Amino acid sequence: MRHRNKIKKLGRTHAHRKATMAALSTALIEHKRITTTLPKAKALRTFVEPIINRAKEDTTHNRRQVFRRLQSKEAVKALFGEIAEVLGDRPGGYTRVVKLGQRAGDAAEMAIIELVDFNDVKPEGGSTKRKTRRSRRRSSDAKAAAAPAAAPATKDANAADDLTKIWGIGPVFASALNDADITTFAQLAEADLDALRAAINTGSETSDEAANEETWSEQARLAVAGDWEGLEAYIETLKDEGGTAHTPPESVPEADVAEDAAAEAEPETAEAEAPEAEAETTQEGEAVASDAANPDTTGNPQVPDAFADAPEHGDTEQGAAPGTGEPPPEADEETRDGHRG
């Protein structure tokens, strides 16, 4: 029975176990972190911590006792040097053991043993339990956390607007309007034409004749309402009416109004005169037809003579009826008999 026997023999003899612990302690002091089996790591912790505790007092006696265990001058020098400076104020607990799981091959439990103040990074692959939260968050806390994200960004009412979004207002006119305390779309919509023209003439090197300030008020109202599509449609309407960024669209003159009224009344007059025009056309057509039938009576040189180019009969004398072969009345009887025979 192993009552009152806490020493892990590690399957070694006494001398072999002492040599194993000395070698592991020297490696830990020099490298600050080593990997070994879990039983060896636990045995090394009970062996090396009393040695590290002696480094708090740098005396000859303590150095001899440490060298008696480690048998390494370099390890003793490092222990009483850099390690004593870091661990000098710590009251025990100089090492940490981190389990790594089973080793492939023999399934031995592996672990890392390290000096606590030198290796703060947790090794990868350590078998640690997953932490679970048993307490539930309050619904009010969740709503309070979501409220700032859901809250819309409110715009300051006194913040200046970009007046260059109005068609016809460039950087120069915008600066002139700002100097006249017109900085928002709402102020521009409420401003009268005299104030706008005074601001343009005072704050810019140009005059109000080079601006379309008559349209700024309506554009500003659409901008205040946030109707940007309506603003674009309004600008297109101004362009179609002949307006530009420097001049408003011209109004329809009175002469044009009279012409439009005359154009509207013209179809009614045309409908009333249509029967008379048709009657005149019919009479002219009949006159042309009669002229074509009697060219000699009309004396119209434009009407062609239907018999001008007709060929004369071979036996027909001058004065005979065309195409009949009869002699004229003046012919003598012999000639008549010759023709009859």
pLDDT for 335 beyond 70: no
Q: For 14-115, CATH number?
A: 3.90.1030.10
CB-based burial label for 121 (10 Å; 0-12, 13-18, 19+): exposed
Print burial letters for 11-32: b (CB count within 10 Å at least 16), e (below 16).
eeeeeebeebbbebbbbbbeeb
Q: How high is the pLDDT of residue 44?
A: 94
Q: How high is the pLDDT of residue 88?
A: 85
Domain ranges of the chain: 14-115, 163-240
The pairing of strands 95-102 and 33-37 is: unpaired
Q: Nearest 10 degrees: CA dihedral of 53, 54, 57, 60?
A: -170
Residue 190, classed as helix, strand or coil, is: helix
Query: Which amino acid would we find at residue 221?
Result: R
Q: How high is the pLDDT of residue 36?
A: 95
From the CB of residue 263, how many other CB atoms can be counted at a distance below 10 Å? 9
pLDDT in tens, 108-152: 999 999 999 886 666 565 555 666 666 665 655 556 555 555 555
pLDDT for 28 beyond 80: yes
Length of the chain: 341
Predicted TM-score (pTM) above 0.75: no
From the CB of residue 82, how many other CB atoms can be counted at a distance below 10 Å? 13
Answer for the pair 114, 146: CB distance below 8 angstroms, yes or no. no
The pair of three-digit structure tokens given for residue 119, joined into one six-digit string? 């290796």
Q: How high is the pLDDT of residue 226?
A: 81
Residue 112, classed as helix, strand or coil, is: strand
Say which DSSP state 13 is in: -
pLDDT for 293 beyond 60: no
pLDDT in tens, 222-245: 888 888 888 888 888 877 777 676
Q: How high is the pLDDT of residue 257?
A: 42
CB-based burial label for 196 (10 Å; 0-12, 13-18, 19+): buried
CA 93 to each of CA 11, 43, 58, 85, 113: distance values in angstroms, whole numbers, following the listed order: 27, 14, 20, 15, 12
